Structure 1
């Protein structure tokens, strides 16, 4: 089953990708600068923002992750495409 995607889908997915990129970069920075309070605060802020963004995305479009990391509505959504990595 293929779902029709709207502009908001792509916009939300892009926001998640941008947050993920920033979180990876901050993780690498914090690995070498563990006492940088400003970077740590920014990391925690972006982690919270990413969690909220992912939750909103999943409520509207279905799960982002498998193996119990994301909930599914009824009926089982994981069989519906496209999956986030396919777009």
Structure 2
């Protein structure tokens, strides 16, 4: 149960940071010279990447960018349960 809760919390933070990144990207489309927004965007993109890597290490990759294909003998992307399958959704 504790692993499930920490996975939910991590996924929630990933969603929050991803929303902020998307919002900043839209803002920067119309304000490309805003240095504060650009610095914040870089910070949030870095945090998102770190969070995705942490989630992948503990629960499996959320995006194809988080898969480690170098050490695998087979394509394992489809072997893991997706986040919505962990709590009785599809399985």
Q: Is the Cα–Cα contact under 8 Å of residues 63 and 78 in structure 1 kept in the other structure?
A: no
The answer to whether the aligner puts 1:61 opposite 2:59 as a matched pair is: yes
RMSD after superposition: 2.0
Larger-Rg structure: 2
Question: Quick one: higher RCO (CA 8 Å, sep 6+), 1 or 2?
Answer: 1
Segments of 5+ residues of structure 1 without an aligned counterpart are none
**TM-score normalized with structure 1 length:** 0.79
Segments of 5+ residues of structure 2 without an aligned counterpart are 86-91
CA–CA separation in structure 2 for the residues paired with 1:45 and 1:38: 11
**TM-score normalized with structure 2 length:** 0.76
Choose between structure 1 and 2: higher helix proportion.
2
CA–CA separation in structure 2 for the residues paired with 1:61 and 1:20: 18
